Structure 1
Amino acid sequence: MAWNEPGGNGSKDPWGHRKNEQGPPDLDEVIKKMRDKLGGWFGGNPNRPIGGSGDNLSGLTVTILMGALLGIWLLFGFYIVQPAERGVVTRFGRYQQTTDQGLHWHLPYPIEDVQKIDVQQVRAINHKALMLTEDENIVEIELVVQYQVGENETDAKNYLFNVLEPDNTLHQATESALREIVGSSNMDAVLTNERDRVTADATKLIQTIVNNYQTGLKVISVNMQNAQPPEAVQSAFADVIKAREDEERSKNKAQTYKNGVVEQAGGTAGKLIEEAKAYKSMVVAHAQGETQRFAKILTEYEKAPTITRQRLYLEAMEAVLDNTSKVLVDIPGNNNLMVLPLDKILTSSQLTEAAKLTPTLPSTTNMPSQSENNKENDPRSRGER
């Protein structure tokens, strides 16, 4: 028996309502109420039948409203890119273009979207790890890598879409490059005099790796903050470094002493050479003067042999007596008697001969000057007439 038949149990209907209670809403009635509300909002008369003049007015209002909403939506497509940024435009998630600084427009969301990337921001990562060197030693290295997104048109695109985590990729590239460079170097070189070479090679290799992965990143610099052996062997390694420093200090001291000795020897050699040259010039000049003097005496001797012999004798006696002590005894009579100290003369002559045989070179300060040589060779200084 149906629930609404006579005599049936009409206390409840299928929707759980009792008799005389409201049943489920009618779909047509719901649509009519919604249309009446919209007509009231946009100036229509809810009591007018469908198809009247009020419907035309409501349609025009809706068109104007939709146009206004479309205009507002299109205005959301304008965006500004700052000088330090690059704008990456995507359409439904697919890359479209990269825009530079200035005012631009794109189809608003959800059709197109723009992501702004700061290409002048300097970023940094710290890396610290234990590395095995070529000589099978372990060294602890800590460095800082500074980088930024490249300024080329494709760099911003690659940074966003080509690699899932570009910064993490750079970190892994840094470790890989550092292990390759340190693994081909000795521990002493890495810790002392080749740290600049390690950082320079690491910069080039890291950039090569991130370029191969097309991450869009540009490595600015790699700075080694610390490089030391593991903590367990630091004391022993400090002793080795101290011994090496002492060795270098001793080498530098020895090199300094060597340079001083060489310079002093060079100066002494130069002095001896100059003295020898001066002595040579003196001997040559003296020989030339004696030759000229002998030639003049020979000419005079050929003219007057007797007078020349007498003059030579007197000059010789004058030279001998001038350099020796002598005693004059006044004897009454016709002449004075001269007494010569022969023992002293012989002693002086022997000393003179010994000095001539000595091979040492005389000092330039004891050499006679050219004026003295000229005076000695001048016949007038010896009493020649």
Structure 2
Amino acid sequence: MPIVVLVVIILLVTWSSIYTVPSDSVAVVQRFGAYLKEVPAGLHFKMPFGVDEATIVPVKRQLKQEFGFTTPGGTDPYQGSQTRDSRQETQMVTGDLNAALVEWVVQYRIATPQKFLFEVRNPSATLRYVSESVMREVVGDRTVDEVITIGRQEIESEALTKMQALSSKYAMGISIDQVQLKNINPPLPVQESFNEVNQAQQEKEKLINEARRDYNKVIPLAEGEKDQRIREADGYRLKRINEAEGDVARFSALLAEYSKAPEVTRRRIYIETLEDIMPGIHAKVVIDEHTSQLLPLLNLNANRNTTSEQL
């Protein structure tokens, strides 16, 4: 019997002395209820029979609290609204005295295990109250349109800053990583009317975008045609100017040559003019300047046959 009792005592001592800390946590060791130390992850030993007590704190795990809804399967009792009406904590009044149902999520980590365990009684519940208070304050400073539409990112940023400030002030040992807004809806009695207003706004934006699309399609085309017409006019202007200047230069050169030899230049001009005109004349009649009658020299039958063939 003494050997059996000794073995049992050894087993009890061993069982109450050995403990394991997970990789994402640390253990806060208390001796006779007073804080002693923090130990990292791994296998550790402590004083048996309740002299030392080790509390596992998940310092590397990201925790979250949900407001207005609860994700199924959560192990944290303070993750969702279990003891209070979730709809009640989401009902808020905006700065323009309108009501809105705001759902959000707070993601946080335990930064200082000693403060988390000993400075504040039930820090997780305190964080829920702090988060709800801050969110009501931030939403109450804005209009309902800002809360539901364009002010979401600003609300998240301001709420995060104020929650972290209160957590540090209360020494909860919590570091808030993110505040994320989820669904934001008007109260149920006016939700149908609000949806109609949203649809009207979306239709308005759609028509504006279509008008801008047509504008961007027509105006650049007109601008391009205008630039093309202007360039064509400039080109025609330059062409006429160059042609006129060329004619002037040609006439000036011709006048200089004519001044030197008028008779030769006149005959040369006459011959060059005939060279340009004669190829376009199909029938040519050359007569003596002393001939008194022209009719005997014309072949009238040939002209009649040619006219009949053309008809």
Q: Where on the TM-score scale, by shorter chain, does this alignment land: which range?
A: 0.7 to 0.9
Are residue 302 (structure 1) and residue 242 (structure 2) matched? no
Preserved CA contact (<8 Å) 1:124 1:145: yes
> Structure 1-normalised TM-score?
0.61
Structure 1 equivalent of residue 65 of structure 2? 125
Match of 1:136 in 2: 97
| Equivalent position to 2:242, from 275, 278, 285 | 285
The answer as to 2:55 corresponding to 1:115 is yes
Change (3 A) 1:134 1:112: same
Q: Does 1:85 align with 2:16?
A: no
For residues 248-296 of structure 1, give each alpha carbon's deviation from its aligned partner in whole angstroms, at most 9, with x where no partner exists.
1222122222222320222022202321332233233323422332233
How big is each residue's C-alpha offset from its partner over 1:140-172, in whole Å with a ceiling of 9 and x where there is no partner?
11223233323xxxx111111111111111111
Equivalent position of 1:145 in the other structure:
106
Provide the secondary structure at the position in 2 that maps to 1:192: helix
- Change in Cα spacing, 1:304 to 1:236, as seen in structure 2 (3 Å) is same
- Conserved 8 A contact 1:74-1:107: no
Question: Structure 2 residue aligned with 1:196, among 153, 157, 160?
Answer: 153
Matching residue within 169, 173, 186 for 1:216: 173
CA distance in 2, matches of 1:227, 1:74: 55
For residues 70-94 of structure 1, give each alpha carbon's deviation from its aligned partner in whole angstroms, at most 9, with x where no partner exists.
9974884343322211110112211
1:227 aligns with 2:188: no
Task: State TM-score, norm by structure 2.
Answer: 0.73
- Give, in whole Å, the separation in 1 of the partners of 2:12 and 2:129: 47
Contact 1:89 1:95 in 2 (8 A): yes
- Pair 1:257 & 2:257 matched: no
The match for 2:232 among 275, 296, 301 is 275
Residue 102 of structure 1: aligned partner: 42
Query: For 1:108 and 1:252, how far apart are their aligned partners in 2?
Result: 74
How many residues are aligned here? 270
Asked whether the 8 Å contact 1:169–1:210 carries over to 2, the reply is: no
Taking structure 1 as reference, are residues 198 and 78 closer, same or farther at Cα in structure 2, changes over 3 Å only?
same
Asked if 2 retains the 8 angstrom alpha-carbon contact of 1:206 and 1:219, the reply is: yes
Aligned amino acid, residue 132 of structure 1: V
For 1:217 and 1:238, locate their aligned partners in 2 and report how far apart those are by CA, in whole Å.
39
Deviation at 1:311, TM superposition (A): 2.9
- Residues 294 and 329 from structure 1, CA distance in 2 versus in 1: closer, same or farther, beyond 3 angstroms? closer
For 1:1-385, list aligned pairs within 5 A: 73=13, 76-128=16-68, 129-150=90-111, 155-315=112-272
In structure 1, list runs of 5 or more residues that go unmatched: 1-40, 43-60, 338-385
| Cα distance change of structure 1 residues 323 and 242 upon mapping to structure 2, 3 Å threshold | farther
Q: Percent identity?
A: 30
Name the Cα RMSD after superposition. Answer: 3.4
Instruction: Provide the rounded CA distance (Å) in 2 between the counterparts of 1:286 and 1:173.
Output: 88
Task: Specify the structure having the higher radius of gyration (Cα).
Answer: 1
